[in-house]
Structure 1
């Protein structure tokens, strides 16, 4: 019997076939669970994560404790952009990871753009 593939997994695979991150322009990938938001910059040529941030990481845990999920996602975008700028990264390729570009995913992207990342 074949493994069931969800529609999000199909979208994710279709997106990943088309985009790839490099050291100069890494891939900004998003993952959201029901409770937390995760974002990271990935260099696909070497397979390494350059910067990673999440709502449950020590750096943001206390800041987002009283925020709603969308406000917490904005803080993730701002923190990721700040960390990327500190490492000299100004441009990224956005990977929504099969999630709709709406709500928390859009909030992370908008906050990262406002903080200075180009994509």
Structure 2
């Protein structure tokens, strides 16, 4: 039996020690007839969420960074990559999934 969540997070994947990419990225590359050892890659970064990490008020959020194989470069500068889950995703030209996080501020009305 194979159970798949209805809305998986594309930025999670199965990591093997000593491998350049996740198992899902490697499978997608092999099915596309690309060599995982020589294909172009980019370091992709995303901000941590409140569920993943705690960070104090007045500081910037932590972020995750990982290599993703490049599938294409778009005319507007964005880059199409294979996310760690094996899904195709578009990231900003500097590798961020979204703009880097702002400092956490204290809002007494939140």
**Normalised-by-shorter TM-score class:** under 0.3
Q: Which has the higher helix share?
A: 1
Q: Which has the higher strand share?
A: 2
TM superposition score normalised by structure 1? 0.24
TM superposition score normalised by structure 2? 0.25
